[in-house]
C-alpha cells in the first residue's frame, strides 16, 4: 500500500491500547498509521462494562492501589510497571475526560465502586458501558487527526527492514506491506481462540486470537506468564442467549452474592478473581452446584440484593440484556459459571512499553508483567490507556531520534 511519506509509528490493533498509542504518537508529532484486523470498532475493549480503576477516593492513594495489585497478583506482577500503572491512573482519567469520556458522577465526585481484591472503592464507571465510552472518545480523538487507518489488515509477519520494521498483512485484496521506523503491537489477547480449542465459553470478541503474540515471539521478543489465562468468575450460564456474557463484577460490588444449590454463601464474593473462580469450580465439583436446563454446571448469583437505585445507575445494560432474555435479575437470582476471559501474561515490556526487540513496543492485553499471573478487574482498561500513551509517545520519540 503506498502511504506517501515514510511512517514513523505503525500501530497494530484498534482496541483501547492501540487507539491510545496512535493518538499519543500523533500528539507527539509522529506520522502514524494504524492497521487493524477488521474494523476500527471491533475489539474487546468496547465490550468492557464494569469500569476502570484509579485512586481518586479521599481515603485512597496510588500506593494503596499498587499494594492491591501486587497482592492480587500473588506478588508475581512487575513492581516497576505497577508503580507506573497506579501513579499515572488519575492523569489517565483526566486525559479521557478531556477527550470527551464522561464518567458517572454523584455527590459532587465520581461514583466509585469496590472491585474484587481492592481495599478501597476505586472503580470509575460510565454506566455499564465503560469500555464503549472510552474507545469512542479515543477513536474520535484519533479520527480528528491525520493518522492513516488501514482496516481489514490482519498482521501475518513482522521483520526488520533497513533502520525500522516491515509488517506484512493479509487483506481482502491480497497481501500488503507497511514499513515504519517503530511498531506498537496492541492486538489484544487470545481467549476467544483458546476457548474454541478447549470447547469452552469465552467473553471475548472473535478477533481475540493471539497470532500477533506468536509473530512477535517468532521475531525474537521475550514473553512471560503466557500460560496464565484468567477466568471471569461470572459468565452467564442461563438462558442460552446469555451464555458467555460477562456479568459485570459491579453486580457483586453493589451487593450481589454467590450462593450454592442450598442457598448458602460459599466464598467472599469480592475476593480476587482467581480465588472466586476456583471457589465456584470447587463448589460444583463437591456436588453443591446447580445444573442449567441444558445441563451446564452453575451456581447462583443473588442479584436480588442489589438496591434498584444502584442497578439503575450502574447496571442498566446488564438489566436490559437479562430482561430481554426473560429474567429480571432484581426479582430472581441468576445462574453463573466462570468463563475464559483474559490473557494475564504477554510480551515483556519496560516502563516505556518497549519489548525486548528494539523499536517494537507493546501495550494492552498483549503485554505482560503489569498484572503478573492474576489481573484485578478494572486494571486492563487502565493499562491500555496508561501504557498505550507511554508506548505511543516513546515510539514517536524513537522514530524521530
Ligand X SMILES: Cc1cc2nc3c(=O)[nH]c(=O)nc-3n(C[C@H](O)[C@H](O)[C@H](O)COP(=O)(O)OP(=O)(O)OC[C@H]3O[C@@H](n4cnc5c(N)ncnc54)[C@H](O)[C@@H]3O)c2cc1C
Residues in contact with ligand X by the rule CB under 6 A? 12-18, 35-38, 42-45, 47-52, 130-131, 153-155, 186-188, 203-204, 207-208, 211-212, 246, 342, 364-366, 377-381, 384
The alpha helices in 180-285, defined as continuous H runs, are: 191-198, 211-218, 250-253, 273-285
Minimum CB separation of residue 167 from ligand X in Å reads: 9
Q: In terms of CB distance, is 14 or 267 closer to ligand X?
A: 14
Grid cell digits, residue 266: 460459599
Catalytic residue flag (residue 273): yes
Q: In terms of CB distance, is 55 or 377 closer to ligand X?
A: 377
Minimum CB separation of residue 131 from ligand X in Å reads: 5
Grid cell digits, residue 37: 484486523
What are the angstrom distances between the C-alpha of 154 and each of 104, 150, 174, 212, 277? 36, 10, 11, 9, 33
Cα–Cα distance for residue pair 128/130, rounded to 1 Å? 6
Closest residue to ligand X: CB criterion: 15
Q: In terms of CB distance, is 153 or 289 closer to ligand X?
A: 153
Q: In terms of CB distance, is 192 or 260 closer to ligand X?
A: 192
Cα–Cα distance for residue pair 104/131, rounded to 1 Å? 13
Q: In terms of CB distance, is 249 or 283 closer to ligand X?
A: 249
Cα–Cα distance for residue pair 305/324, rounded to 1 Å? 20
Minimum CB separation of residue 198 from ligand X in Å reads: 16
C-beta neighbour count of 264 within 10 angstroms:
11
Minimum CB separation of residue 289 from ligand X in Å reads: 23
Q: In terms of CB distance, is 89 or 399 closer to ligand X?
A: 89
Q: Cell match 498483549: residue?
A: 366
Catalytic residue, chosen from 111, 273, 321, 390, is 273
Minimum CB separation of residue 287 from ligand X in Å reads: 30
Query: DSSP class of residue 35?
Result: E
String of DSSP letters for 75-135: T-S-HHHHHHHHHSHHHHHHHHHHTT----EETTEE-EEPPTT-SS--EE-STT-HHHHHH
What are the angstrom distances between the C-alpha of 240 and each of 64, 236, 327, 333, 363? 40, 8, 12, 16, 34
Query: Mind telling me the catalytic residues?
Result: 273
Amino acid at each position: 500500500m503506498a502511504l506517501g511519506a515514510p511512517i514513523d509509528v505503525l500501530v497494530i490493533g484498534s482496541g483501547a491500547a492501540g487507539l491510545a498509542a496512535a493518538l499519543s504518537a500523533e500528539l507527539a508529532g509522529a506520522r502514524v498509521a494504524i492497521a487493524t484486523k477488521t474494523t476500527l470498532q471491533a475489539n474487546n475493549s468496547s465490550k468492557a462494562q464494569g469500569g476502570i480503576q484509579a485512586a481518586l477516593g479521599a481515603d485512597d492513594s496510588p500506593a494503596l492501589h499498587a499494594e492491591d495489585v501486587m497482592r492480587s497478583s500473588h506478588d508475581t506482577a512487575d513492581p516497576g510497571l505497577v508503580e507506573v500503572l497506579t501513579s499515572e491512573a488519575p492523569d489517565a482519567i483526566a486525559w479521557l475526560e478531556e477527550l470527551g469520556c464522561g464518567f458517572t458522577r454523584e455527590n459532587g465526585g465520581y461514583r466509585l465502586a469496590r472491585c474484587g481484591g481492592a481495599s478501597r472503592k476505586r472503580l470509575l464507571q460510565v454506566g455499564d458501558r465503560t469500555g464503549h465510552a472510552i474507545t469512542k472518545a479515543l477513536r474520535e480523538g484519533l479520527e480528528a487527526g491525520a493518522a492513516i487507518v488501514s482496516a481489514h489488515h490482519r498482521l501475518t509477519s513482522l521483520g526488520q527492514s533497513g533502520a525500522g520494521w516491515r509488517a506484512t498483512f493479509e487483506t481482502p485484496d491480497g497481501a500488503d506491506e507497511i514499513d515504519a521506523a517503530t511498531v506498537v503491537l496492541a492486538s489484544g489477547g487470545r481467549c476467544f481462540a483458546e476457548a474454541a480449542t478447549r470447547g469452552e465459553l469465552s467473553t471475548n470478541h472473535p478477533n481475540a486470537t493471539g497470532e500477533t503474540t506468536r509473530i512477535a515471539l517468532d521475531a525474537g521478543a521475550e514473553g512471560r506468564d503466557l500460560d496464565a489465562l484468567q477466568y471471569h468468575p461470572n459468565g452467564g450460564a442461563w438462558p442460552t442467549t446469555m451464555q458467555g456474557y460477562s456479568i459485570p463484577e459491579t453486580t457483586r460490588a453493589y451487593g450481589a452474592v454467590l450462593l450454592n444449590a442450598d442457598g448458602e454463601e460459599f466464598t467472599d464474593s469480592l475476593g480476587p478473581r482467581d480465588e472466586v473462580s476456583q471457589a465456584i469450580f470447587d463448589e460444583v465439583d463437591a456436588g453443591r452446584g446447580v445444573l442449567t436446563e441444558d445441563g451446564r454446571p452453575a451456581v447462583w448469583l443473588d442479584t436480588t440484593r442489589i438496591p434498584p437505585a444502584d442497578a439503575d445507575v450502574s447496571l442498566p445494560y446488564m438489566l436490559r440484556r437479562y430482561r430481554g432474555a426473560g429474567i429480571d435479575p432484581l426479582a430472581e437470582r441468576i445462574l453463573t459459571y466462570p468463563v475464559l476471559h483474559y490473557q494475564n501474561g504477554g510480551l515483556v515490556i519496560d516502563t516505556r512499553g518497549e519489548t525486548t526487540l528494539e523499536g517494537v513496543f507493546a501495550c494492552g492485553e498483549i503485554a505482560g508483567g503489569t498484572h503478573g499471573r492474576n489481573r484485578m478487574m478494572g486494571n486492563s482498561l487502565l493499562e491500555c490507556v496508561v501504557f498505550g500513551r507511554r508506548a505511543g509517545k516513546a515510539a514517536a520519540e524513537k522514530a524521530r531520534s
